[in-house]
């Protein structure tokens, strides 16, 4: 398949293109003055709560790089697409970014489904791709860098911590999709490894809002702690109904997903919940304090999550690699990133793991307290052990799939 012969007739195509993407084609006249970078994040629809802050941090990172003189003597031009929480638009915008805008890199995707929609496309069109969301792990593809944490990195630290604190009998509730399913398996594995027992695991579709029956089932099971991997707006109801039943005073909660929920729930509902992420707003470093201040102030985002902070790290990791490679050529940049690229920012130090194209990152255990998370303990430079068990891009550079990680319990 050759797309190049069509360039000859681009003028005609621009006319047709104007119908579906009017505002863009005028800017193309001066395209060579910029290095174009695309962000594809849902800023409307059900996922906008994350998408908006990811767009903000991406904008911040790009502005910082431009203020410091840009890259290779050029300014970065950021093109944002809003796929409206609809997979179909990911396909369309990724194709547009790669083939029409010819961007140097695409950052984006929130759900795993959206990542898997655009990953093969961007590989086909030879466009570098950064996915900055914590996810279930297992993606093995040399064209993508996954900067978010995976369950093994966070669950491994969280489970022993809360078991030591609260007890050995665990009840798991998780969102019913790949991420929740795999997280639940890791919870089970680490609980057993630490001499405990998961008495029950319940899965909830992402639109369930009524947790009454479950709360009663949990009471009947009498666990020492509840491990939550609930996700999304509907599932916030669980924390409310849990507190309304007075259960938050009875059985403690731990989670690897309770993040932005801290803004939406009240202190009575969330105080005491213990979480583990690769980033928490309460990280006590000057870099993070400045970062949080800018995001709150200039961008009006009330609370920063790992997704948005890792997006910020991701953009900087890419920019540093471009400088090092002295080129935006995809293979050269990948080479520079694989050569142990590392960035220290608000989330601490993030290092690219060449074998998996995931990151070695700092993990923080924190406690929700009055709409914030206090850092209780931090673990520096945790390797992506789960993906590493199935993926070795040094050995198999042509690998191109998401492995299902077999969690041995």
Q: Does the protein bind another protein through residue 21 (CB under 8 A)?
A: yes
Contact set for another protein, span 327-356 (CB under 8 A): none
Q: Which is nearer to another protein, 155 or 173 (CB)?
A: 173
Q: Which is nearer to another protein, 69 or 205 (CB)?
A: 205
Contact with another protein (CB under 8 A): which of 109, 134, 137, 180?
Answer: 180
Among candidate residues 401, 404, 407, the one with its CA nearest the CA of residue 115: 401
Kindly identify the residues of this chain, within the stretch 131-170, that bind another protein according to CB under 8 A: none
Site for another protein in 252-281 (CB under 8 A): 260, 263-266, 268-269
In whole angstroms, how close is the CB of 125 to another protein at the nearest point? 8
Nearer to another protein, 54 or 341 (CB): 54
Among 66, 192, 194, 241, binds another protein (CB under 8 A): 241
382 neighbors 362 (Cβ within 8 angstroms): yes
Considering only CA atoms, which of 279, 231, 286 is closest in space to residue 255?
231
CB of 235 to another protein, least distance (A): 10
Residue 289 C-beta: closest distance to another protein, Å: 21
| Paired tokens of 43 | 């800023």
Q: Judged by CB, which is closer to another protein: 214, or 255?
A: 214
* Closer residue to another protein, CB minimum distance, 148 or 348: 148
**Residue pointed to by tokens 């174009």:** 36
199, 245, 354, 385: residue in contact with another protein (rule CB under 8 A): 245
- Residue recorded with tokens 């999709």: 177
What are the DSSP calls for 220-248, one per residue? HH--SEEEEE--STTTHHHHHHHHHTTGG
Closest alpha carbon to 347 in 318, 296, 313: 313
Candidates 207, 293, 370, 377: give the one binding another protein (CB under 8 A): 207
Q: CA 26 to CA 24: how far, in whole Å?
A: 6
For the segment 45-64, give every residue that binds another protein (CB under 8 A).
45-46, 48-49, 52, 55-56, 59
In the chain the first and final C-alpha atoms are separated, in Å, by: 46
Q: How far is CA 285 from the centre of its chain?
A: 22
Q: Cβ–Cβ contacts within 10 Å for residue 390, how many?
A: 18
Chain residues 67-126 in contact with another protein, contact rule CB under 8 A: 79-84, 86-89, 91-93, 95-96, 98-100, 111-113, 116-117, 119-120, 125
DSSP annotation of 109: -
Cα–Cα distance, 256 to 399 (Å, whole number): 29
């Amino acid at each position: 398949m050759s797309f190049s012969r069509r360039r000859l007739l681009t003028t005609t195509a621009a006319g047709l293109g104007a119908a579906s993407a009017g505002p863009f084609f005028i800017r193309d006249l001066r395209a060579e003055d910029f290095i174009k970078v695309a962000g594809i994040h849902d800023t409307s629809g059900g996922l906008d709560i994350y998408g908006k802050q990811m767009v903000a941090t991406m904008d911040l990172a790009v502005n910082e790089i431009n203020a410091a003189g840009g890259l290779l003597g050029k300014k970065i031009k950021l093109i944002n697409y809003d796929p409206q929480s609809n997979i179909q638009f990911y396909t369309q915008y990724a194709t547009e970014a790669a083939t029409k805008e010819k961007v140097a890199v695409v950052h984006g995707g929130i759900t795993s489904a959206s990542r898997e929609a655009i990953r093969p496309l961007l590989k086909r069109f030879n466009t570098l791709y950064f996915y900055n969301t914590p996810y279930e792990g297992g993606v093995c593809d040399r064209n993508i860098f996954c900067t978010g944490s995976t369950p093994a990195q966070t669950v491994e630290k969280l489970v022993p911590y809360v078991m030591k604190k609260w007890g050995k009998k665990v009840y798991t509730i998780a969102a019913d999709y790949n991420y929740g399913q795999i997280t639940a398996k890791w919870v089970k594995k680490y609980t057993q490894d630490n001499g405990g027992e998961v008495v029950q695991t319940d899965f909830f579709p992402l639109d369930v809002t009524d947790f009454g029956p479950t709360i009663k089932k949990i009471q009947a099971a009498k666990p020492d702690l509840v491990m939550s991997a609930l996700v999304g707006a509907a599932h916030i109801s669980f924390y409310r109904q849990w507190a309304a039943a007075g259960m938050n005073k009875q059985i403690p909660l731990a989670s690897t997903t309770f993040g932005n929920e801290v803004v939406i729930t009240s202190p009575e509902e969330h105080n005491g919940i213990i979480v583990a992420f690769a980033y928490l707003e309460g990280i006590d470093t000057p870099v993070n304090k400045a970062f949080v201040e800018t995001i709150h102030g200039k961008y009006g985002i009330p609370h920063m999550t790992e997704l948005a902070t890792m997006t910020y790290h991701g953009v900087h990791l890419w920019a540093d690699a471009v400088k090092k490679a002295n080129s935006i050529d995809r293979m050269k940049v990948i080479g520079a990133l694989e050569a142990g690229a590392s960035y220290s920012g608000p989330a601490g130090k993030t290092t690219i793991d060449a074998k998996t194209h995931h990151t070695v990152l700092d993990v923080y255990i924190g406690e929700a307290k009055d709409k914030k998370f206090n850092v209780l303990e931090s673990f520096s430079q945790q390797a992506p052990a789960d993906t590493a068990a199935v993926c070795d891009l040094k050995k198999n550079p042509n690998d191109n799939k998401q492995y299902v990680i077999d969690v041995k319990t």
